[in-house]
A = this chain, B = another copy of it.
Amino acid sequence: MSVDSDDCLHKSRQMPRLTRQQRTVLEVLQQLAQPISAQSLYKTLRQDHRSIGLATVYRSLEVLKLQGLVQSRINRQGESLYSLVQQDQHYLTCLKCGQSTPLDSCPVKHLERQLQQSASFTIYYHSLEFFGLCQPCALLD
């Protein structure tokens, strides 16, 4: 999860931790603290007059994901929503209306520690999602 220089044993050339564009994208996500699509992020930056090319937005998000700083989640429309990796995410998602309700409880930390110790995998974050029907949708049928 940390991105200390210790973790970054680059081969030859030393590049800045994150480029300007990558930092801009990260800042937007930090201010938002709300999942946002790449397209929306792109438009937001245009309106702010700090335009970044759309392709670069996508590339930056990919880099930030690889750093474990950002996570994504695909919504009902099939677009990826990006957000900071701050807390793990737990949802109750209705198969009919698509609404996702966040949950509080996280019963998974323990397992995560176990897996972490198995040492063959470095866990950045996890996601737990329950699928079914919310009451209104269940009653419709």
A-to-B contact residues, CB < 8 Å:
8-9, 65-66, 68, 71, 74, 78, 92, 94-96, 101, 103, 105, 107-108, 110-112, 115, 119-135, 138, 141
Closest 4 CB pairs of A and B: A123-B132, A124-B132, A126-B130, A122-B132
Q: How many Å lie between the Cα of A33 and that of B91 in the bound state?
A: 26
CB <8 Å contact, B107 and A121: no
Contacts of A141 in B (CB 8 A): 8-9
| Further contacts, 6 of them, CB under 8 A, given A68-B133, A126-B129 | A112-B130, A121-B135, A122-B138, A126-B130, A127-B129, A128-B129
Q: How many Å lie between the Cα of A112 and that of B65 in the bound state?
A: 29
Shortest distance from the beta carbon of A39 to any chain B beta carbon, whole Å:
14
How many chain copies does the complex carry? 2
Contacts of A132 in B (CB 8 A): 68, 121-125
Q: How many Å lie between the Cα of A65 and that of B95 in the bound state?
A: 7
CB <8 Å contact, A130 and B115: yes
Contacts of A68 in B (CB 8 A): 95, 132-133
CB <8 Å contact, A66 and B96: yes
